[in-house]
Chain A
Amino acid sequence: MSTPLKRVHGYLAEFTTVQDIFRAAEKVRDSGFTSWDVHSPFPIHGMDDAMGLSRSILPRFVFVGGATGTLTAFTLQYYTQVVLYPTVVQAKPANIFTIPAFFPVMFELTILFSAFTALFGCLALMKLPRLHHPLFNSKNFPRFSDDRFFICIEARDPKFSTEKTKSFLESLGGQNIELVEGEA
């Protein structure tokens, strides 16, 4: 039986109020860290700016997804109803001017494809689903979904240092600072 190898995930610091975590986030941002995150029980308005996050690429994916939906629906209907097997309904023409009849499906598929792209794109960008995360090794961390706020600076950040990062988080007012380890 071998002892599993441990790898340092990063430092986790706990905060008690929104104001504290907001100011701390601004300072972490200004110190130039890139691999770090804020965990809070609820969304905090303006946190994106405080963390210096850039816009997500997801909207672009969704636009492409939606446009694909529109074109899929149009092609599907045009090909089957006009080209392959022209269907005359209520003396309506079987050509491009039948397009009003295609609109409902085009609309629905746009929504459907956009929604799927948004959901699955979001999961993919967040690298979800996953079975475990090193932060779950922390005893304090579960309170992130209750009444505490956390900042985690990860070890893979180029500016990470075992001593300095700890004292930096202390200077921000973080409590219960712990070094979180995960399995290698």
Chain B
Amino acid sequence: MSHFVAATHLPVDGERLQESKFAKWRSLFMAAGALGLVLSLVLFLMGGPTANAYAFSYLFAFEVFFTLTAGALFWCLLHSASNSAWGVAIRRIPETLAQSFLVLALLGLPLVMPFMPNKPEWIGQMWEWIGLHQEIKGDPGVAGGLKAALAANHDTLLLYKKYNYLHLGFDGLPGWDLRYIIYFAALGFIAWKLLGYSLQQDANGEVRPTFSARRFSCGMLPVFAVCTTFASIDWVKGLNYKWFSTMFGVNIFAGSALCSMAVIILIVGTLVKTGHLKRIVNEEHFHLMGKLMFAFTVFWAYIAFSQYFLIWYANIPEETQFYAIRNTGGWWYFSIALTFVHFLAPFVLLLRRNAKRNINYIMACAALVVGVHIMEMYWLILPERGRSLYPEVGTAPDGMTFLRDSLFDVLAFVTFAAVYALVFLRNLSKHSIYPCGDPRLEESVNVAN
């Protein structure tokens, strides 16, 4: 057992982020973020095929960081709801990550353009049902309203069947736009409230905020589940309105919690290596976080395989189309690689106990997990760009287009990463980097497993 650290030996007002150590990073993020935002704006304003192609890249980056933030919120909720003590020492990191819903809501605006009666072309290209909707709505020859028009056409029959979800109130009260706002408002509110309880405790050191957070978390877990499930249906599954899978929401959630835990490990590891959290975090915490990362690696594989398995076995065209394009051409190698690097590699690497207790090793594994999560989001979203934008050449665009699109992907990702990191650093420097007032801090600091 390592040396016992009594709560009375820890500073009362916690520990601040040593901002000077990240000054270089901060200016790098600021430069990259500003440049990226300007370039993104230019690309969207250019309109036409450029904006259409860039919108997919932008959605990909948006979804990577949305899942990361949602996963962080999940860990906060789970920690409070399960009345855990072990994670108090690292809880401020997911709490701070979860504050990023606001910046994501703003960054995501070009994808949604809420309350615009006529969406820009790239939105209609990306979510084809919106394009069809606007096309039919704008056609004066349509008799009997939108619903009848959708039902009359063979191509849009599936859209007609999903009318109640997708189009409901689209003309009067825009349901799709409204949902975007509801997700961010609900998730942002939960994150804000949880951090609020925690900060309140920093100041007064009382037990009551723990109980309040616990009660609040138990109530909010269903809200979280509903919001993240429907958000993934709206933004990712909605890319192909003809496809359906009842496991899609939980599939995204599994990757989201996994990636988020990996990012938490990376951040805590970086803080420890830069001389923070000296007597607060030790290898026991990395072991515990590593166990959760391992568990979610298996959970992700279980869910992703179950979805594939049912569709593969049943062999119904409406369902298999999703995997058909991901089994074609270069995507086939990508899909097979995903099986190995998203499941097998982390599974084998994280199996040993000592692996999870070595900070350098576990950080390398966490970096791998973040990488494969980005790969998975790429795999989920970007095959749809080929199908939507370059149907005449199948799913594979020509070399130059592919190069341009890949540069777009990198640009969108770097933009989001830089802005997100900047916001995170800013949020983290606002308060102590661990919950210094939590009565269970002592228990967490001396945790053994």
Which A residues lie at the B interface, using CB under 8 A? 45-46, 49-50, 55, 59, 63, 90-91, 100-101, 103-104
From A45, A55, A91, A100, contact of B315 by CB (8 A): A91
Q: For A63, list chain B residues within 8 Å (CB).
A: 351
The CA-CA distance from A55 to B315 in the complex, in Å, is: 48
Q: For B400, list chain A residues within 8 Å (CB).
A: none
For chain B, the count of residues having a C-beta within 8 Å of the partner chain is 11
CB of B448 within 8 Å of the partner chain: yes
Task: State whether A90 and B353 are in contact (beta carbons under 8 Å apart), knowing that A50-B1, A100-B308, A100-B309 are contacts in the complex.
Answer: no
Q: For A91, list chain B residues within 8 Å (CB).
A: 315
From A45, A55, A90, A100, contact of B448 by CB (8 A): A45
Give the 6 A-B CB pairs with smallest separation, nearest first: A46-B1, A45-B448, A46-B448, A49-B1, A90-B315, A100-B312
Task: State whether A101 and B353 are in contact (beta carbons under 8 Å apart), knowing that A46-B1, A49-B1 are contacts in the complex.
Answer: no
The CA-CA distance from A178 to B305 in the complex, in Å, is: 60
Can you name 17 A-B pairs with beta carbons within 8 Å?
A45-B448, A45-B449, A46-B1, A46-B448, A49-B1, A55-B353, A59-B353, A63-B351, A90-B313, A90-B315, A91-B315, A100-B305, A100-B312, A101-B313, A103-B305, A103-B309, A104-B309
Q: For B312, list chain A residues within 8 Å (CB).
A: 100
Question: Which residues 277-319 of B sit at the A interface, judged by CB distance below 8 A?
Answer: 305, 308-309, 312-313, 315
The CA-CA distance from A45 to B305 in the complex, in Å, is: 37
Q: For A101, list chain B residues within 8 Å (CB).
A: 313
Q: For B309, list chain A residues within 8 Å (CB).
A: 100, 103-104
Give chain B nearest CB distance to A140 CB in angstroms: 28
Give chain B nearest CB distance to A55 CB in angstroms: 7
Looking at B1, B305, B312, B351, the one whose CB has the most chain A CB atoms below 10 A away is B1
Q: For A55, list chain B residues within 8 Å (CB).
A: 353
Q: For B448, list chain A residues within 8 Å (CB).
A: 45-46
Question: Which residues 423-449 of B sit at the A interface, judged by CB distance below 8 A?
Answer: 448-449
Q: For A59, list chain B residues within 8 Å (CB).
A: 353
The CA-CA distance from A46 to B443 in the complex, in Å, is: 13
Contact with A along B328-360 (1 / 0, CB 8 A): 000000000000000000000001010000000
The CA-CA distance from A166 to B323 in the complex, in Å, is: 72
The CA-CA distance from A64 to B312 in the complex, in Å, is: 31
Return the chain B residue nearest A101 by Cβ: B313
